[in-house]
Amino acid sequence: MTFDAAAFRKNFPVLFTPVNGKDYYYFDTAATSLKPKCVADRLQHYYLYEVANIHRGSHYLGRLGTEHYEAVREKAKNFINASSSEEIVFVRGVTEAINLLAYTYGDTFNAQDTVVVSSYEHHSNVVPWVLLKQRRNCQLAVLNYNDDGSISDEEIQRVLKLHPRILSLQVYSNVTGVRFDVEKILSAFAKTETITVLDAAQCVLHEKINVQKWNCDFLTFSGHKMFGPFGAGVLFGKKERLQKLPPFMGGGSMISQVGWDQLVLQDAPYKFEAGTPNIADVIGFGEALDFISNYGIESWQEHTRNLVTTLENALQNMPKIKVIGPAANGVRKADIVSFIYEGAHPSDVGEILDQMGIAVRAGHHCAQPLMKKLGIAGTVRVSFAPYNLKSDVDFLVQALQKTGEIL
Protein backbone atom coordinates (compact mmCIF):
# COMPACT_ATOMS: atom_id res chain seq x y z
CA MET A 1 0.00 0.00 0.00
CA THR A 2 1.12 3.56 -0.71
CA PHE A 3 2.21 5.43 2.40
CA ASP A 4 -0.35 8.10 3.35
CA ALA A 5 1.77 11.00 4.62
CA ALA A 6 -1.26 13.28 5.01
CA ALA A 7 -2.88 10.80 7.39
CA PHE A 8 0.41 10.15 9.20
CA ARG A 9 1.01 13.84 9.93
CA LYS A 10 -2.30 14.07 11.78
CA ASN A 11 -0.50 12.37 14.69
CA PHE A 12 1.56 15.56 15.19
CA PRO A 13 -0.56 18.48 16.44
CA VAL A 14 2.28 21.01 16.23
CA LEU A 15 2.15 20.81 12.43
CA PHE A 16 -1.35 22.30 12.58
CA THR A 17 -0.38 25.09 14.98
CA PRO A 18 0.57 28.43 13.35
CA VAL A 19 4.01 29.86 14.15
CA ASN A 20 4.33 33.64 13.98
CA GLY A 21 0.91 33.64 12.39
CA LYS A 22 2.04 31.38 9.54
CA ASP A 23 1.66 27.72 8.64
CA TYR A 24 4.47 25.63 10.14
CA TYR A 25 6.92 23.74 7.93
CA TYR A 26 9.28 21.56 9.96
CA PHE A 27 12.50 20.42 8.28
CA ASP A 28 14.70 19.80 11.33
CA THR A 29 14.08 16.14 12.16
CA ALA A 30 17.81 15.35 12.13
CA ALA A 31 18.10 17.57 15.22
CA THR A 32 14.99 16.10 16.82
CA SER A 33 11.81 14.57 15.47
CA LEU A 34 8.40 15.94 16.30
CA LYS A 35 6.43 13.98 18.90
CA PRO A 36 3.14 12.23 18.13
CA LYS A 37 0.18 12.80 20.41
CA CYS A 38 0.27 9.20 21.63
CA VAL A 39 3.75 9.73 23.12
CA ALA A 40 2.71 12.95 24.89
CA ASP A 41 -0.46 11.25 26.14
CA ARG A 42 1.58 8.35 27.52
CA LEU A 43 3.86 10.70 29.42
CA GLN A 44 0.92 12.59 30.87
CA HIS A 45 -0.84 9.36 31.86
CA TYR A 46 2.26 8.14 33.69
CA TYR A 47 2.70 11.36 35.66
CA LEU A 48 -0.99 11.64 36.53
CA TYR A 49 -1.88 8.03 37.29
CA GLU A 50 1.19 5.79 37.54
CA VAL A 51 4.04 7.77 39.07
CA ALA A 52 6.22 5.76 41.44
CA ASN A 53 9.85 4.74 41.74
CA ILE A 54 10.67 1.34 40.32
CA HIS A 55 12.67 -1.84 40.92
CA ARG A 56 12.47 -1.65 44.74
CA GLY A 57 8.86 -0.75 45.42
CA SER A 58 6.67 -3.38 47.07
CA HIS A 59 3.44 -1.52 46.28
CA TYR A 60 1.21 -1.72 43.22
CA LEU A 61 2.34 1.36 41.29
CA GLY A 62 5.99 0.54 41.95
CA ARG A 63 5.49 -2.91 40.50
CA LEU A 64 3.46 -1.55 37.57
CA GLY A 65 6.14 1.02 36.74
CA THR A 66 8.84 -1.66 36.88
CA GLU A 67 6.84 -3.83 34.52
CA HIS A 68 6.30 -0.99 32.02
CA TYR A 69 9.90 0.21 32.24
CA GLU A 70 11.41 -3.23 31.68
CA ALA A 71 8.97 -3.91 28.83
CA VAL A 72 10.66 -1.07 26.93
CA ARG A 73 13.98 -2.87 27.24
CA GLU A 74 12.41 -5.81 25.42
CA LYS A 75 10.93 -3.49 22.77
CA ALA A 76 14.34 -1.89 22.18
CA LYS A 77 15.89 -5.34 21.92
CA ASN A 78 13.43 -6.27 19.20
CA PHE A 79 13.85 -2.94 17.40
CA ILE A 80 17.56 -3.59 16.75
CA ASN A 81 17.40 -7.41 16.78
CA ALA A 82 19.64 -7.84 19.82
CA SER A 83 19.88 -11.37 21.16
CA SER A 84 18.81 -10.47 24.71
CA SER A 85 17.23 -7.58 26.62
CA GLU A 86 20.27 -7.82 28.91
CA GLU A 87 22.21 -6.19 26.08
CA ILE A 88 20.10 -3.01 26.33
CA VAL A 89 21.40 -0.24 28.62
CA PHE A 90 19.21 2.83 29.07
CA VAL A 91 21.11 6.13 28.75
CA ARG A 92 20.09 9.73 28.11
CA GLY A 93 21.25 9.47 24.52
CA VAL A 94 24.20 8.88 22.21
CA THR A 95 26.43 11.40 23.98
CA GLU A 96 26.13 9.65 27.34
CA ALA A 97 26.59 6.24 25.73
CA ILE A 98 29.87 7.18 24.04
CA ASN A 99 31.14 8.90 27.19
CA LEU A 100 30.32 5.71 29.10
CA LEU A 101 32.54 3.74 26.74
CA ALA A 102 35.29 6.36 26.71
CA TYR A 103 35.51 6.42 30.48
CA THR A 104 35.14 2.72 31.22
CA TYR A 105 37.43 1.37 28.50
CA GLY A 106 39.56 4.48 28.62
CA ASP A 107 40.69 3.96 32.21
CA THR A 108 43.10 1.28 30.94
CA PHE A 109 44.43 3.20 27.91
CA ASN A 110 47.97 4.49 27.50
CA ALA A 111 50.20 5.98 24.81
CA GLN A 112 50.28 2.69 22.88
CA ASP A 113 46.48 2.55 22.49
CA THR A 114 44.59 4.04 19.55
CA VAL A 115 41.01 5.13 18.98
CA VAL A 116 39.80 5.56 15.38
CA VAL A 117 36.90 7.78 14.30
CA SER A 118 36.05 9.25 10.90
CA SER A 119 36.33 12.82 9.69
CA TYR A 120 32.52 12.98 9.39
CA GLU A 121 31.65 12.39 13.05
CA HIS A 122 29.28 14.43 15.20
CA HIS A 123 30.93 16.02 18.22
CA SER A 124 29.31 13.38 20.45
CA ASN A 125 31.66 10.88 18.80
CA VAL A 126 34.66 13.21 18.78
CA VAL A 127 34.82 15.14 22.05
CA PRO A 128 34.76 12.09 24.42
CA TRP A 129 37.72 10.60 22.55
CA VAL A 130 39.65 13.89 22.47
CA LEU A 131 39.11 14.15 26.23
CA LEU A 132 40.35 10.56 26.58
CA LYS A 133 43.43 11.42 24.51
CA GLN A 134 44.14 14.35 26.82
CA ARG A 135 43.47 12.30 29.94
CA ARG A 136 45.38 9.12 29.06
CA ASN A 137 47.84 10.33 26.40
CA CYS A 138 46.52 7.76 23.94
CA GLN A 139 46.37 8.10 20.16
CA LEU A 140 43.39 9.36 18.12
CA ALA A 141 43.40 8.56 14.40
CA VAL A 142 41.01 9.53 11.59
CA LEU A 143 39.50 7.18 9.01
CA ASN A 144 38.82 8.77 5.62
CA TYR A 145 35.80 7.89 3.50
CA ASN A 146 35.30 8.58 -0.18
CA ASP A 147 32.79 11.35 -0.90
CA ASP A 148 29.97 8.87 -1.54
CA GLY A 149 30.43 7.11 1.82
CA SER A 150 32.37 4.17 0.42
CA ILE A 151 35.83 3.30 1.64
CA SER A 152 38.85 2.02 -0.22
CA ASP A 153 40.62 -1.22 0.56
CA GLU A 154 43.82 0.77 1.00
CA GLU A 155 42.24 2.97 3.68
CA ILE A 156 40.94 -0.04 5.56
CA GLN A 157 44.38 -1.66 5.46
CA ARG A 158 45.97 1.56 6.72
CA VAL A 159 43.63 1.66 9.71
CA LEU A 160 43.98 -2.07 10.40
CA LYS A 161 47.75 -1.61 10.73
CA LEU A 162 47.12 0.85 13.58
CA HIS A 163 45.64 -2.03 15.64
CA PRO A 164 43.10 0.30 17.27
CA ARG A 165 41.57 -0.63 20.61
CA ILE A 166 38.31 1.12 19.61
CA LEU A 167 36.76 1.98 16.25
CA SER A 168 33.75 4.32 16.63
CA LEU A 169 31.75 5.44 13.58
CA GLN A 170 28.45 6.98 12.49
CA VAL A 171 26.19 4.95 10.20
CA TYR A 172 24.84 8.08 8.46
CA SER A 173 26.33 11.56 8.36
CA ASN A 174 24.23 14.07 10.27
CA VAL A 175 25.52 16.78 7.89
CA THR A 176 25.17 15.32 4.38
CA GLY A 177 23.00 12.29 5.10
CA VAL A 178 25.40 9.98 3.26
CA ARG A 179 25.28 6.31 4.34
CA PHE A 180 28.74 4.93 5.12
CA ASP A 181 29.83 1.42 4.18
CA VAL A 182 30.03 0.29 7.79
CA GLU A 183 29.40 -3.33 6.77
CA LYS A 184 32.66 -3.44 4.82
CA ILE A 185 34.57 -1.91 7.72
CA LEU A 186 33.03 -4.17 10.36
CA SER A 187 33.78 -7.21 8.23
CA ALA A 188 37.43 -6.20 7.96
CA PHE A 189 37.69 -5.84 11.75
CA ALA A 190 35.65 -8.94 12.62
CA LYS A 191 38.66 -11.14 13.43
CA THR A 192 40.63 -8.47 15.28
CA GLU A 193 40.58 -7.45 18.94
CA THR A 194 39.24 -4.00 18.06
CA ILE A 195 36.05 -2.94 19.87
CA THR A 196 33.58 -1.64 17.27
CA VAL A 197 31.05 1.09 18.11
CA LEU A 198 28.29 2.43 15.84
CA ASP A 199 26.48 5.74 16.29
CA ALA A 200 23.02 5.06 14.82
CA ALA A 201 21.44 8.37 15.84
CA GLN A 202 20.61 9.30 12.22
CA CYS A 203 19.81 5.73 11.22
CA VAL A 204 16.73 4.98 13.29
CA LEU A 205 14.03 6.38 10.97
CA HIS A 206 15.70 5.39 7.71
CA GLU A 207 16.49 1.69 7.84
CA LYS A 208 15.99 -1.32 10.09
CA ILE A 209 18.88 -1.90 12.44
CA ASN A 210 20.19 -5.43 12.86
CA VAL A 211 23.06 -5.61 15.34
CA GLN A 212 23.43 -9.37 14.90
CA LYS A 213 23.88 -8.97 11.16
CA TRP A 214 26.31 -6.08 11.58
CA ASN A 215 28.13 -7.90 14.39
CA CYS A 216 29.21 -4.67 16.08
CA ASP A 217 30.23 -4.73 19.74
CA PHE A 218 28.25 -1.62 20.67
CA LEU A 219 25.57 0.53 19.03
CA THR A 220 23.77 3.58 20.36
CA PHE A 221 20.79 5.74 19.41
CA SER A 222 18.60 8.44 20.97
CA GLY A 223 14.83 8.23 21.45
CA HIS A 224 14.20 11.88 20.63
CA LYS A 225 15.35 11.31 17.02
CA MET A 226 12.58 8.74 16.55
CA PHE A 227 9.38 10.39 17.85
CA GLY A 228 10.29 9.76 21.51
CA PRO A 229 10.94 12.10 24.47
CA PHE A 230 14.23 13.78 25.22
CA GLY A 231 16.51 12.09 27.73
CA ALA A 232 15.90 8.43 26.85
CA GLY A 233 18.24 6.45 24.62
CA VAL A 234 19.91 3.09 24.26
CA LEU A 235 23.39 1.67 24.40
CA PHE A 236 23.44 -1.84 22.99
CA GLY A 237 26.43 -3.95 23.95
CA LYS A 238 27.22 -7.57 23.35
CA LYS A 239 26.53 -9.39 26.59
CA GLU A 240 30.09 -10.61 27.03
CA ARG A 241 31.41 -7.08 26.49
CA LEU A 242 29.03 -5.53 29.02
CA GLN A 243 29.75 -8.15 31.66
CA LYS A 244 33.49 -7.40 31.54
CA LEU A 245 33.04 -3.63 31.53
CA PRO A 246 33.28 -1.73 34.84
CA PRO A 247 30.43 0.61 35.82
CA PHE A 248 30.36 4.21 34.65
CA MET A 249 28.71 5.69 37.77
CA GLY A 250 28.06 4.46 41.28
CA GLY A 251 24.91 4.70 43.36
CA GLY A 252 21.67 2.93 44.08
CA SER A 253 20.21 0.21 41.87
CA MET A 254 23.50 -0.87 40.29
CA ILE A 255 24.68 -2.84 43.33
CA SER A 256 23.45 -5.90 45.19
CA GLN A 257 25.66 -5.54 48.31
CA VAL A 258 27.44 -2.51 49.78
CA GLY A 259 30.11 -2.47 52.45
CA TRP A 260 32.79 -0.04 53.51
CA ASP A 261 35.48 -2.11 51.84
CA GLN A 262 33.69 -4.07 49.14
CA LEU A 263 30.88 -3.78 46.61
CA VAL A 264 28.98 -6.52 44.81
CA LEU A 265 27.68 -5.17 41.50
CA GLN A 266 24.52 -6.09 39.68
CA ASP A 267 24.90 -7.84 36.36
CA ALA A 268 24.59 -5.89 33.11
CA PRO A 269 22.64 -3.90 32.13
CA TYR A 270 21.73 -2.74 35.65
CA LYS A 271 25.29 -2.02 36.78
CA PHE A 272 25.33 0.83 34.25
CA GLU A 273 22.06 2.40 35.44
CA ALA A 274 22.92 3.97 38.78
CA GLY A 275 20.34 6.04 40.64
CA THR A 276 16.68 6.69 39.97
CA PRO A 277 16.14 6.10 36.25
CA ASN A 278 14.37 8.38 33.81
CA ILE A 279 11.22 6.32 34.18
CA ALA A 280 8.62 8.45 32.41
CA ASP A 281 10.74 9.22 29.36
CA VAL A 282 11.77 5.59 28.95
CA ILE A 283 8.10 4.57 29.07
CA GLY A 284 7.32 7.33 26.57
CA PHE A 285 10.16 6.03 24.42
CA GLY A 286 8.48 2.64 24.50
CA GLU A 287 5.32 4.25 23.12
CA ALA A 288 7.40 5.74 20.28
CA LEU A 289 8.83 2.29 19.50
CA ASP A 290 5.28 0.94 19.31
CA PHE A 291 4.29 3.85 17.08
CA ILE A 292 7.10 3.10 14.62
CA SER A 293 6.42 -0.64 14.70
CA ASN A 294 2.74 -0.07 13.89
CA TYR A 295 3.75 1.62 10.62
CA GLY A 296 7.06 -0.04 9.81
CA ILE A 297 10.07 1.94 8.61
CA GLU A 298 9.83 0.31 5.18
CA SER A 299 6.37 1.82 4.69
CA TRP A 300 7.67 5.39 4.39
CA GLN A 301 11.16 4.95 2.91
CA GLU A 302 10.11 5.59 -0.68
CA HIS A 303 8.06 8.63 0.35
CA THR A 304 10.87 10.36 2.26
CA ARG A 305 13.52 9.52 -0.32
CA ASN A 306 11.33 11.04 -3.02
CA LEU A 307 11.21 14.24 -0.97
CA VAL A 308 15.02 14.30 -0.87
CA THR A 309 15.28 13.77 -4.63
CA THR A 310 12.64 16.43 -5.34
CA LEU A 311 14.50 19.04 -3.31
CA GLU A 312 17.91 18.15 -4.72
CA ASN A 313 16.61 18.40 -8.27
CA ALA A 314 15.12 21.82 -7.54
CA LEU A 315 18.31 23.09 -5.93
CA GLN A 316 20.33 22.12 -9.00
CA ASN A 317 18.41 24.81 -10.90
CA MET A 318 19.33 27.52 -8.40
CA PRO A 319 22.72 28.88 -9.51
CA LYS A 320 23.77 30.32 -6.16
CA ILE A 321 23.02 27.16 -4.18
CA LYS A 322 25.53 24.33 -3.85
CA VAL A 323 24.48 21.00 -2.33
CA ILE A 324 27.11 19.62 0.05
CA GLY A 325 27.69 15.90 -0.35
CA PRO A 326 26.52 13.51 -3.05
CA ALA A 327 23.01 13.57 -4.44
CA ALA A 328 20.62 10.80 -3.48
CA ASN A 329 20.69 9.18 -6.93
CA GLY A 330 22.65 5.95 -6.55
CA VAL A 331 23.72 6.77 -2.99
CA ARG A 332 21.88 5.72 0.15
CA LYS A 333 21.11 8.74 2.29
CA ALA A 334 19.39 9.67 5.46
CA ASP A 335 16.61 12.10 4.58
CA ILE A 336 18.96 15.08 4.70
CA VAL A 337 19.95 17.75 2.19
CA SER A 338 22.68 20.22 3.17
CA PHE A 339 23.57 23.22 1.06
CA ILE A 340 25.29 26.58 1.07
CA TYR A 341 23.99 29.81 -0.44
CA GLU A 342 26.90 31.58 -2.09
CA GLY A 343 27.56 34.96 -0.55
CA ALA A 344 25.30 34.36 2.47
CA HIS A 345 25.91 32.96 5.92
CA PRO A 346 23.81 29.86 6.65
CA SER A 347 22.34 31.54 9.74
CA ASP A 348 21.04 34.43 7.63
CA VAL A 349 19.29 31.99 5.31
CA GLY A 350 17.84 30.14 8.28
CA GLU A 351 16.50 33.34 9.83
CA ILE A 352 14.83 34.46 6.59
CA LEU A 353 13.18 31.05 6.20
CA ASP A 354 12.06 31.20 9.83
CA GLN A 355 10.13 34.39 9.07
CA MET A 356 8.20 32.37 6.48
CA GLY A 357 7.30 29.65 8.99
CA ILE A 358 10.04 27.25 7.88
CA ALA A 359 12.25 25.46 10.40
CA VAL A 360 15.67 24.35 9.13
CA ARG A 361 19.02 23.94 10.85
CA ALA A 362 21.87 26.33 10.03
CA GLY A 363 25.46 26.10 11.25
CA HIS A 364 28.18 23.50 11.67
CA HIS A 365 25.77 20.84 13.01
CA CYS A 366 28.22 19.81 15.76
CA ALA A 367 30.67 18.66 13.10
CA GLN A 368 33.41 21.30 13.10
CA PRO A 369 36.21 18.92 11.98
CA LEU A 370 34.13 18.04 8.90
CA MET A 371 33.43 21.71 8.15
CA LYS A 372 37.16 22.42 8.31
CA LYS A 373 37.79 19.50 5.95
CA LEU A 374 35.15 20.85 3.53
CA GLY A 375 36.49 24.40 3.81
CA ILE A 376 33.16 25.95 4.83
CA ALA A 377 31.77 27.59 7.97
CA GLY A 378 28.52 25.68 7.94
CA THR A 379 25.49 24.69 5.89
CA VAL A 380 21.75 25.03 5.76
CA ARG A 381 20.39 21.57 6.55
CA VAL A 382 16.96 20.36 5.52
CA SER A 383 15.95 17.05 7.09
CA PHE A 384 12.76 15.16 6.38
CA ALA A 385 10.47 12.76 8.20
CA PRO A 386 7.36 10.84 7.11
CA TYR A 387 5.16 13.75 8.24
CA ASN A 388 6.56 15.99 5.48
CA LEU A 389 4.64 16.35 2.21
CA LYS A 390 5.68 17.13 -1.34
CA SER A 391 3.74 20.37 -0.99
CA ASP A 392 6.07 21.23 1.91
CA VAL A 393 9.04 20.85 -0.43
CA ASP A 394 7.34 22.98 -3.08
CA PHE A 395 6.79 25.73 -0.51
CA LEU A 396 10.40 25.47 0.65
CA VAL A 397 11.68 25.83 -2.93
CA GLN A 398 9.53 28.94 -3.43
CA ALA A 399 10.80 30.31 -0.13
CA LEU A 400 14.42 29.74 -1.16
CA GLN A 401 13.79 31.61 -4.41
CA LYS A 402 12.33 34.48 -2.41
CA THR A 403 15.28 34.28 0.00
CA GLY A 404 17.58 34.80 -2.95
CA GLU A 405 15.72 37.98 -3.86
CA ILE A 406 16.00 39.24 -0.27
CA LEU A 407 19.69 38.43 -0.06
Q: Could you list the active site residues?
A: 366
User: Is 147 in contact with 99 (CB distance < 8 Å)?
Assistant: no
Q: What is the C-alpha R_g of the chain?
A: 22
- CA–CA distance, 192 with 207 (Å, rounded to integer): 27
Beta carbons within 8 Å of 398's beta carbon, 6+ residues apart: none
d(CA 71, CA 304): 30
